[in-house]
Amino acid sequence: MRPTTTRKKAVIKRKPRKKASFFSGKLLRFSMIGFFVLLFLGVCYHYRNGLAYYFSFKSHKISYEEAEAKRISDVRNYQVLENHQGKAIGIDVSEFQGKIDWTLVETIEEDHPLEFVFIRATAGNDRVDGQFEDNWLGVKKRKMIRGAYHYYRPNENSLEQAQLFIKTVRLRKGDLPPVLDIEKLPKGQSLDSLKIGLRRWLKAVEAHYKVKPIIYTGEKYYDDFLKEDFSDYLFWIANYNFYREKIEEDWLFWQFTEKASVSGIKGNVDVNIYNGDVEQLRFITME
């Protein structure tokens, strides 16, 4: 008979867990808070002029009524105008702005006189803008440089669209060249077909007015579809993005906002910068 033996269980010693350092966690939190504070202060410094205007901290304070009538609602927009001192500033309008009192249309902010206005004349092959005639004559009376644009519908006949514009718009000496506004992609047709139609419109209008039209479009549309094939034309580019603060060298005009306030116009209006001063702008007008 074997003697009974008692086996001792092996005892596994576990290493004690290290307690999370109180100071390391606190340091991380303070570092993150500090980063966001510095980021916020950097943004505030970058937009200091616009913020000062927005909160009426400038020495030449204006009344609430004047501010509401003339100020640009977005701080960025004010900053963009400050970045383009000396450039010609203008707006573009259509029937969506309703009836405009052109006797009151003078400046954006107190420091930026409006030098030019683009006016929508036609859309597609059958639509004349309801306020075109009034706007066209109103701008002329204000002795501002004026231009007319056509909103192009990709799925409608391009030559019919060109003829409608030609029939509607009578350009005179001192007016800006005609503008083709293309923003939409075609339905049921190829991009090649779209580009053929655009070319037909541009050639027909150029043949009539004896001047090369300008093309208006968004920056992405320009980069993706038009930049290479229409490099022989000058472009008016729309980009409202927060990061964009300067006009590109190869842009003739830059529409940098659709949310501006101008005396004489109810609601918002688009603002544009010409890539030059007002004398250079006059240089490209009709002779």
For residue 173, what pLDDT is reported?
97
SS3 254: strand
Q: What is the DSSP string of 164-216?
A: HHHHH----TTPPPPEEE-----SSS-HHHHHHHHHHHHHHHHHHHTSPPEEE
- Spans of all domains in the chain: 85-283
The answer to whether 76 and 242 are in contact (CB under 8 A) is: yes
Nearest-angstrom CA–CA distance, 218 and 110: 29
Q: Is 92 a catalytic residue?
A: yes
For residue 272, count other CB atoms closer than 10 A to its CB. Answer: 25
Q: 253-260 and 269-274 as β-strands: parallel, antiparallel, unpaired?
A: antiparallel
In Å, how far from its chain's centre is CA 27?
43
Specify the pairing of strand 112-123 against strand 107-108: antiparallel
> CB atoms < 10 A from the CB of 225, how many?
17
Chain-centre distance of CA 180, in angstroms? 17
pLDDT value for 72: 40
What pTM does this model have?
0.77
- Which one from 183, 229, 250, 277 is the annotated catalytic residue? 183
Identify the pLDDT of residue 70: 40
Stretches in the chain below the pLDDT threshold 50: 1-6, 8-9, 48-72
Bridge partner residues of 218 (DSSP)? 238
pLDDT score of 58: 39
Return the amino acid letter for 218.
G
> Of 74, 92, 175, 219, which is the active-site residue?
92
**183 carries an active-site annotation:** yes
- Give the model's pLDDT for residue 61: 44
Rounded CA separation 103/122 (Å): 24
pLDDT at 75: 82
| Amino acid identity at 68 | E
Q: What pLDDT shows up at residue 23?
A: 55
Q: Which fold has domain 85-283?
A: TIM Barrel (3.20.20)
pLDDT score, position 37: 65
- Helices vs. strands in the chain: H and E counts, helices first: 9, 10
CB 163 within 8 A of CB 272: no
Are 115 and 144 spatial neighbours (Cβ–Cβ below 8 Å)?
yes
Q: pLDDT for 16-42, tens place per residue?
A: 555 555 556 667 776 677 676 666 665
Among residues 275, 98, 92, which one has the least CA distance to residue 181? 92
